Structure 1
């Protein structure tokens, strides 16, 4: 396998190359626009709902992947930063190969430099020499190589330096572990954000992608999917829930397969990304259906369950694209 890095602001990871539909084509272009893609989905009745079974997850600019193979312009990848219950190499899926890049300078900087981690919801990345600014989102991390005139100088995956407003980033290899109140405050920043199946970006998230990114922003690494998130951490029963505990919901009145996750915020309420058509919101744990009937248990993560990062070492690395 080879190592590569995402070269677009947001990359969709598909179940297989045959899953994208005609209205997804705009997001397969070399320079995809998240906003244009979502606008096209919203123009169709089942545009967003139709992503179920098609879209697996998303990646942000600079995130690393293992590339197993490339077939007809598609890269079969594993995502080391998104733990998966069946695959030690990380979350599996398929990405258009031209959404990935490998440059030795970026690879070296990724392994050895501190990161400029975006803390603003959205900001601009000015790519040196290109005279264009690319919109990038929350939790995008790029190697930090210096600061000048109020900008953080970063390395982009194609090996070209870029600039991001220094006030919009945190510089460090990881983000500090945050207390429960900070996790809730972080989650509340996304009240009203539209639901997006497979989403993990500020343009839209699903239930598990939402808590996955919130915990990442608070220095705690957890699995990507709800049923796997429910298998780790400390199990917490209903009467012992504390703010920032994850709460899980299952079919068959809480006794069947886990299908949903949110974060407890106290006073018998939780915050979550419900489903297609409903935005991130706070709801009652005991009064609002179907959650009152489907609650099964909580989990408490303190930051010690998973390593903060996975070293990217391999016998081979990717070629520049």
Structure 2
């Protein structure tokens, strides 16, 4: 099955959504209405009550494992996790999924990755059809100087060529980590969202995941798993684009946070439900003593 809305929130169980979360469950999706309505306590509850697991962008393939009324329990193969070998688990409203076997078979060839915060899909008459998020990945049917034709779960659509990066143009890794930092800077001031994986809101590891994903690099979904893979980097040798991890008990406990090193002793990250994506000086930062490991994926 394929995600058929700009971003589907993946819930812990069908009972998790509150009444105020209804706009996030619909198709068409009302993501902005939902997020605009959430107070800081509402956002904190998503985390503290373990309501949300992650999110999945338009066109993401998921594996259905169970259906209950209007809900589908799924696994997300593109979001690796120690929770489940086949991919990140959770529940999505059935209305936000589409059975699109022909689209699912389009595994080979070039792909378009949205590299601006949001882009619009257009129909063949150049009429706007759907707004999609940064790091959305869609198969390419035809490239052009102004428009690129992409395959979607709803058929062929158009994207502006200047709003995408083609995987066929990527050498397998970004030239340097500074490109990851520059991608992240587009989102300075964006409100944190627990489980967030889209340009409408990121959590700390979702932000790290998505900045890499925009260059065709897939890393684990959660900070704990991210801290165990990639290339281990000495903390004295970190470069822009490296991931910095923070653990409880002054770095000796469980990893609970990740940020992207920017150079010059600075880090860009999505801090917590009461905050927005920011760039900070590591020296004197409240988590400074919890810095425990650095990893490189580029």
Question: Which ranges of structure 2 fall in alignment gaps of 5 or more residues?
Answer: none
Q: Give the TM-score of the pair, scaled to structure 2.
A: 0.92
* Pairing partner for 2:118 from 108, 117, 122: 122
Find the residue that maps to 1:47 and give its secondary structure: helix
* Match for residue 33 of structure 1 among 25, 30, 35: 30
- Contact preservation (8 Å) 1:113, 1:145: no
Match of 1:301 in 2: 297
**Equivalent pairs, count:** 294
Match of 2:101 in 1: 104
Distance 2:46 2:270 in 1: 16
- After TM superposition, the score normalised by the length of structure 1 is 0.86
Is residue 272 of structure 2 the alignment partner of residue 275 of structure 1? yes
String of CA shifts for 1:32-58, please: whole Å, max 9, x gaps: 1210110121xx351211111111111
Distance 1:239 1:40, change over 3 A: same
CA RMSD of aligned residues (A): 2.0
**CA separation in 2, counterparts of 1:187 and 1:81?**
20
Contact in 1 for aligned 2:115/2:163 (Cα 8 Å) = yes
Contact 2:126 2:158 in 1 (8 A): no
CA contact (8 A) 2:133 2:198 kept: yes
Q: Point out where structure 1 has 5 or more consecutive residues left out of the alignment.
A: 303-321
Helix, strand or coil for the counterpart of 1:85?
Answer: coil
Query: Quick one: which of 40, 45, 54 aligns to 1:50?
Result: 45
1:177-210 alpha-carbon deviations (Å, 9 max, x no partner): 1111212211222211111110011111000000
Contact 1:175 1:217 in 2 (8 A): no
SS in 1 for 2:42: coil
Give CA-to-partner distance per residue, 1:105-163, whole Å, 9 cap, x none: 3223x2234222212221111245896521112111222222579322222213x2222
1:212 to 205, 209, 213: 209
For structure 1, which segment, 98-107 or 126-135, has the greater mean C-alpha deviation from structure 2 after superposition?
Answer: 126-135
Counterpart in 1 of 2:165? 170
Q: Give the SS at the match of 2:17.
A: coil
CA contact (8 A) 1:174 1:219 kept: no
Partner of 2:18: 21
1:311 is aligned to: none
